[in-house]
Amino acid sequence: MTTNLESKVVLITGGAKRVGAAICRELHTHGANLMIHYNTSKQAAKALQAELNLQRPDSVSIIQGDLLNPAIATSLVKETIVRFGKLDVLINNASTYKPTEIGNINEENWHDLVGSNLKAPMFIAQAAAKELKKSHGCIVNITDMHIESPKKGYIVYSVAKAGLVTLTKSLAQELSPEVRVNAVAPGPVLWPENNPQFDEVYRQRVMSQTLLKRIGDPTDIAKAVKFLAADAPFITGHILAVDGGRSINL
Q: Is the pLDDT of residue 2 over 50?
A: no
Catalytic residue among 38, 154, 157, 220: 157
CA-to-CA distance for 2 and 179, rounded, in angstroms? 23
Cβ–Cβ < 8 Å for 160, 188:
no
So where are the chain's domains? 9-248
Q: What is the pLDDT of residue 142?
A: 98
* 97 assigned to active site: no
* 220 assigned to active site: no
> In CATH terms, is domain 9-248 a member of 3.40.980.10?
no
Mean pLDDT of 173-197: 89
What stretches of the chain show up as alpha helix (H) in DSSP? 18-29, 42-55, 72-84, 107-114, 120-135, 155-174, 200-209, 218-230
pLDDT digits (tens, 9 = 90+) for 44-98: 999 999 999 999 999 999 999 999 998 999 999 999 999 999 999 999 999 999 9
Count of H helices and E strands in the chain?
8, 7
Catalytic residue among 144, 180, 220, 246: 144
Mean pLDDT of 208-233: 94
Kindly give, in sequence order, each residue whose CB lies less than 8 Å from that of residue 125, ignoring residues fewer than 6 positions away: 90, 92, 139, 167, 171, 175, 181
Cβ–Cβ < 8 Å for 62, 38:
yes
* 18 assigned to active site: yes
* Average pLDDT of the residues of the chain: 94
